[in-house]
Structure 1
Amino acid sequence: MKQTLYNFSVLNNDYEEVPLSRYKGRVLLILNTNSDDIYYEEFKTLEYLYKKYQPFGLEILAFPSNKFSEGMILEDQDLKEDFDRKYDIDFQVMKKIQLDKDNTHPLFRYLTESKNRIFKNEIKRAFTMFLISREGRIVKRFNSKRSLDELENSIQKYIEG
């Protein structure tokens, strides 16, 4: 059977299994992150986009990782509380994952080993984002230096179909 995004299950920060098939028909923004305060504006941008587009089918799944922050030592439930306290976000913060070259989480391995060459390479920074269409296709990859307009225009394009 061909591997698709919807074949994966992930854990939320309460260690509950979340099948990605739950998001069929929705536009997904999947990203890696950490809880460093320097990302305050990034979280505010994502929360703005989530509140604006969630009623029209957007879901955001944030996967914390220690790869880009030596300071993130909190475990999953404490990390969620830390994110909520610092950033007041409503989108999903999942269980912390590994992104090391030899130990990358299977979902992120799938996202970065896409047959489409523009997505194919290692994640090198926090806030690398993958936009997924309603059909489960990886349609865009954003690095941490993208603009709000670029991100919002792409989300809007796939929300509207």
Structure 2
Amino acid sequence: MSPLYSIPLTFNDGSEGDFGRFEGKAVLVVNVASACGYTRQYAGLEDLYRKYHDQGLEILGVPCNQFGGQEQGSDAEIAEFCQRNFGVSFPLTSKTNVLGKEQHPLYAEMTRTEDGSAPQRVKWNFEKFLVSREGEVLARFPSAVEPDSEELIGAIETALEGASN
């Protein structure tokens, strides 16, 4: 079993679970922020979610305030902003650190290197990690890669091949 599946998560509504809730699904994990130049990507992420969810895609938004202080709201304010402005229906975690000593275990595992060298730190808001239905990080996309890019869509479609619903 993937080490990702045992990592605990606290969701934006205060409920708790672990990444294992996504077992058997392809997951696009994105650190998000409400006041970033890339915030408009929420719309494209929601489009991806609606298009591919029934085929086995999950999107997990991870609000983070570590890049330019661009996510200062409370969990409730973040959820309301995302729903009101972008109709976001994919799950969001509570506000989380993706860097540093307080880095969430999910990000510690996703940025870990195979050879044990220094982790490849997250560089900015809206960086995307694509996780296979078996819980392996398949690809990583920088913030500038738009949700509707051929590169990202191709990787998602490949990850979904054979994914269970």
Shared topology, TM-score over 0.5? yes
| Aligned residues with identical type, % of pairs | 31
**Structure number with higher helix proportion:** 1
**Pair 37,31 (structure 1): closer, same or farther in 2 beyond 3 Å:** closer
1:76-103: CA deviation from partner (whole Å, max 9, x where unpaired): 1121111111211111111000133222
Aligned CA-pair RMSD: 2.0
**Pair 47,24 (structure 1): closer, same or farther in 2 beyond 3 Å:** same
Matched-pair contact (CA < 8 Å) for 2:42–2:82: no
**Pair 120,141 (structure 1): closer, same or farther in 2 beyond 3 Å:** farther
**Structure number with higher strand proportion:** 1
Matched-pair contact (CA < 8 Å) for 1:12–1:95: yes
CA drift of 1:61 comes to 0.3
Instruction: Please name the residue that 2:58 is paired with.
Output: 59
Number of aligned positions between the proteins = 159
Matched-pair contact (CA < 8 Å) for 1:36–1:69: no
**Pair 151,11 (structure 1): closer, same or farther in 2 beyond 3 Å:** same
Q: Distance in 1 between matches of 2:70 and 2:139?
A: 29
The alignment's TM-score, normalised by the length of structure 1, stands at: 0.90
> Tell me, what secondary structure is at the counterpart of 2:37?
helix
Instruction: Please name the residue that 1:125 is paired with.
Output: 124
Unpaired stretches in structure 2, ≥5 consecutive residues:
none
Please list every run of at least 4 consecutive aligned residues from structure 1 whose deviation after the TM superposition is greater than 3 angstroms: none
Letter in 1 for 2:150: D
CA drift of 1:71 comes to 4.2
Q: Distance in 1 between matches of 2:53 and 2:70?
A: 31
Instruction: Please name the residue that 1:105 is paired with.
Output: 104
Matched-pair contact (CA < 8 Å) for 2:38–2:125: no
Matched-pair contact (CA < 8 Å) for 1:129–1:141: yes
Q: How does 1:4-19 map to 2 (within 5 A)?
A: 4-19=3-18
Q: Distance in 2 between matches of 1:75 and 1:132?
A: 27
The alignment's TM-score, normalised by the length of structure 2, stands at: 0.88
